Copies of this chain bind each other. A is one copy, B any other.
């Protein structure tokens, strides 16, 4: 990996998401060498991926170059690579660009889509955990509409205009709401020769409520907002299979649809190597102690989505969201520094700042620890918090500008098929074929 050997201990951080970034920031300018490895050269602000997928934002506005974030930090190294294995005995990781020894290893690989072993769904459904995946969804939605125009077979057209979102968590709810707003304000204008009533947006949730982690009021209000926007909400319905044509469920309703977006679960992005059985917990996460130390290993830490820290309050670990990731990252940085200085480490205590979801224009739900509210004000709070959390002034400004524009004009202007998804073989992205 061509990283110099110094007299400082080396901290290797795998993953530049919320967790990895927080720990790297906390270790800046210390007597440490920090190596951050990610398979992308940018940090992705995942909470806004659904807006990239629905043409509301450009991908570049929610991604931030990792090198830039650290380019004035001493003893910091970034490497663009995929880590393929961990050898805890040798204190070494292997990757697509070679091996590297560590003194401290921080696994912050986050999570990936969980298809619960259903290979059919994995093959045919779309996922939305990265920028390229979101762009694929954007392309597919628009390509399906273009195709719907061309068919005179009513059933085929309905299939092309039928959208199934599986999973009623924040991702599914926000995506369904955004699609419903496209249906309302944009697609009828763009496709005047289509009967837009044939477009259906189905949100399927296996349990009896949306936004399961939030309050009952938030869940009900979100459902109410979605229904008013024209989304068909299906509760207590479980998707069994999708063969690229038909979504089959455990109920009486099946769905013939060209687009299925799977937002029904995530699982930790485990790396091969820590073979000890005890380290793998529920949802493919590493079992960690109260200091985010992977149980059974020395100097190997896991933070964020990939870590499962069990406690009385969180028997299955903390929610796989940005806040626990950021807080664990910050604390871990402090704890590593404390250990180096021979001081006492502090155990992790999650400070639940609340959660929120947006359904559409003027429609959001916010649960703060002591205050719950829904509607216009919640929507402004949601926007402010997300804008504030974005990294970089340029990103904040571009997102703000888009939001103001979209709000005033009832528009989402980045509805561009830059890399076709469906016909990717036809218009491949080779240099020459274009």
Q: Which of A4, A67, A393 has the most CB of B within 10 A?
A: A67
B401 touches A65 (CB 8 A): no
Among B79, B126, B393, the residue within 8 A (CB) of A431 is: B126
Mask of A60-89 contacts with B, CB within 8 angstroms, 1/0: 110111011001100001011000000000
Within 8 A of B (CB), among A377-434: 392-395, 397-398, 401-402, 405, 411, 413-419, 421, 424, 426-427, 429, 431-432, 434
**Per-residue contact bits, chain A 1-34, to B (CB 8 Å; 1 contact, 0 not):** 1101000000000000000000000000000000
A243 at the interface (CB under 8 A from B): no
Query: Do the beta carbons of B429 and A413 come within 8 Å of each other?
Result: no
Contacts of A80 in B (CB 8 A): 143, 146, 417
- Tell me if B394 and A402 are in contact (CB < 8 A): yes
Inter-subunit contact A125/B431 (CB<8 Å): yes
Q: Does A333 contact B (CB under 8 A)?
A: no
Residue of B126, B393, B416 near A65 (CB, 8 A) is B416
- Which residues from B are CB-within-8-Å of A39? 427
- Asked if A132 and B419 sit within 8 Å, CB to CB, the answer is yes
A2 contacts B405, C-beta separation under 8 Å: no
Among residues 27 to 59 in chain A, which have CB atoms less than 8 Å away from a CB atom of chain B? 39-42, 58-59
Contacts of A394 in B (CB 8 A): 401-402, 405, 411, 413
A98 within 8 A of B: yes
Measured CA separation A1–B402 after assembly (Å): 34
How many chain A residues touch B (Cβ–Cβ < 8 Å)? 73
Chain B residues with CB under 8 A of A125: 431
Question: Within the complex, which residue of B122, B135, B190, B401 is in contact with A71, where a contact is CB–CB below 8 Å?
Answer: B190
Q: Verify B2–A189 contact, CB threshold 8 A.
A: no
B127 touches A77 (CB 8 A): no
Residue of B nearest to A58 (CB): B60
With A2-B149, A58-B58, A68-B190 already in contact, the answer to whether A419 and B429 are too (CB < 8 A) is: yes
| Contact assessment for A418 and B65 in the assembled complex, using a CB-CB cutoff below 8 Å | no
Q: Is A253 interfacial (CB-CB < 8 Å)?
A: no
Closest to A152 in B: B2
| Chain B residues with CB under 8 A of A63 | 416, 418
- The answer to whether A68 touches B415, judged by C-beta atoms less than 8 angstroms apart, is yes
- The answer to whether B393 touches A405, judged by C-beta atoms less than 8 angstroms apart, is yes
Establish whether residues A133 and B413, one from each chain, have CB atoms under 8 Å apart when the complex forms: no
Q: With A2-B152, A398-B398, A413-B65 known to touch, is A189 a contact of B431 (CB < 8 Å)?
A: no
Residue of B whose beta carbon sits closest to that of A112:
B434
Contacts of A72 in B (CB 8 A): 189
Q: For the complex, is A130 an interface residue (Cβ under 8 Å from B)?
A: yes
B415–A65 CB distance below 8 A = yes
Report if A171 contacts B (CB, 8 A): no
User: Among B146, B397, B411, B415, which residue has its beta carbon within 8 angstroms of that of A401?
Assistant: B397
Task: Tell me, yes or no, whether A258 is within 8 Å of chain B by CB.
Answer: no
Q: Find out whether the CB atom of B429 lies under 8 angstroms from the CB atom of A132.
A: yes
A105 CB within 8 Å of chain B: no
A142 CB–B CB distance under 8 Å = yes
List of 3 A-B pairs having minimum Cβ-Cβ separation, nearest first: A58-B60, A67-B190, A71-B189
* Partner-B contacts on A (CB < 8 A): 1-2, 4, 39-42, 58-61, 63-65, 67-68, 71-72, 77, 79-80, 96-98, 122-123, 125-127, 129-133, 135-136, 142-143, 146, 149-152, 189-193, 392-395, 397-398, 401-402, 405, 411, 413-419, 421, 424, 426-427, 429, 431-432, 434
A to B CB contacts below 8 Å, 20 in the list: A2-B193, A4-B193, A41-B142, A41-B416, A58-B58, A58-B60, A59-B60, A68-B189, A71-B189, A71-B192, A96-B426, A126-B431, A129-B434, A130-B434, A133-B431, A136-B429, A394-B413, A397-B401, A419-B429, A421-B431
